[in-house]
Amino acid sequence: MRRLFHAPRILQKQAAGAATPRWQMNGFNRTPGATARPMTVRNLMGEIDGTNNPKPTDKDFNAKIFVPDKNGPQAWMNGGSYAVVRRIRMLLDPWDDLTTTEQEQVIGRRKSNGSPLSAPASTGTETTPVDLEKFTPDGSLAIPADAHIRVAAAQSNAGATILRRTFSYHDGYLPDGSPDAGLLFVCWRADPTTGFIQIQLKLDGSDHLTRFIRHESSAIFAVPGGAQPGEYVGQRLLEA
């Protein structure tokens, strides 16, 4: 964390006179090592958040997340990625008014351990694969049609996946007394049109969770690939 703080500070000092920061958002996450074993974090709604993310060991991970090498004017993005950053406020008062069972129906996973509702409560774990085809004995979908994990799933979005790396924020209270708190949502993808944009368009129309959140600001960043030996980050763009 300290190094992350230090890097933009040094950039800011060196760019003084030529560039100034226009805005900054502060988020937080659990410190690695704070739990006895590595555990997925919980967001401010109390949900385990970050389970179903592409993994670096997946065979198509690099192709999905990093921009492939090209020649020509866009070559400066080779090996880079696009980051979508959104400040999403949580409507925590109405959320807290739901029962745990209702909250689980909104997300599609159990609050206690993050297991998908398609798995039995007694044996399901956070890593039990999600079964979107599963029905309950009374004939309803185990994971409801408007549950967040169904609507956001790759199967519902022509295979679109994103690498989510989110932070929580809490910036005090709004004039009506409700918490000004939520998720600094950050996701990465080689091509945002086949990642975030595709998924968000679907969520907009049919995700139950949208009743409990407000997207307040949004930005997209082109992040160039790492520097080659002797180069600095972004050199191919800045000196083209």
Which residue from 65, 83, 142, 152 is in contact with ligand HEM, where contact means CB under 6 A?
Answer: 152
Looking only at the bridges linking them, the beta strands covering 167-173 and 179-189 are antiparallel
Which residue from 65, 92, 107, 163 is in contact with ligand HEM, where contact means CB under 6 A?
Answer: 107
Distance, in Å, from the CA atom of 167 to the CA atom of 8, rounded to the nearest integer, reads 18
- Taking the least distance from each CB to ligand HEM, the nearer of 80 and 108 is 108
Quote the tokens at residue 90: 């949580």
Least Å from the CB of residue 165 to ligand HEM = 11
Distance, in Å, from the CA atom of 67 to the CA atom of 43, rounded to the nearest integer, reads 29
Which residue from 76, 82, 169, 185 is in contact with ligand HEM, where contact means CB under 6 A?
Answer: 185
Considering the rule CB under 6 A, would residue 83 count as an interface residue with ligand HEM? no
Which residue from 82, 203, 208, 236 is in contact with ligand HEM, where contact means CB under 6 A?
Answer: 203
- Taking the least distance from each CB to ligand HEM, the nearer of 80 and 195 is 195
Distance, in Å, from the CA atom of 67 to the CA atom of 83, rounded to the nearest integer, reads 12
Distance, in Å, from the CA atom of 106 to the CA atom of 147, rounded to the nearest integer, reads 5
Whether 76 and 240 have beta carbons less than 8 Å apart is answered as: yes
Binding characters for ligand HEM, 119-138, by CB under 6 A (x = yes): -----------x--------
Which residue from 66, 104, 200, 236 is in contact with ligand HEM, where contact means CB under 6 A?
Answer: 200
176 is catalytic: no
Quote the tokens at residue 37: 């074993």
Query: How many other β-carbons are positioned within 10 Å of the β-carbon of residue 163?
Result: 18
Rg (C-alpha) for the chain, rounded Å, is 20
Which residues form the catalytic set? 49
Site residues (vs ligand HEM, CB under 6 A) = 43, 45, 47, 49-52, 88, 90, 107, 109, 130, 148-149, 152-154, 162, 182-183, 185, 196, 199-200, 203, 213
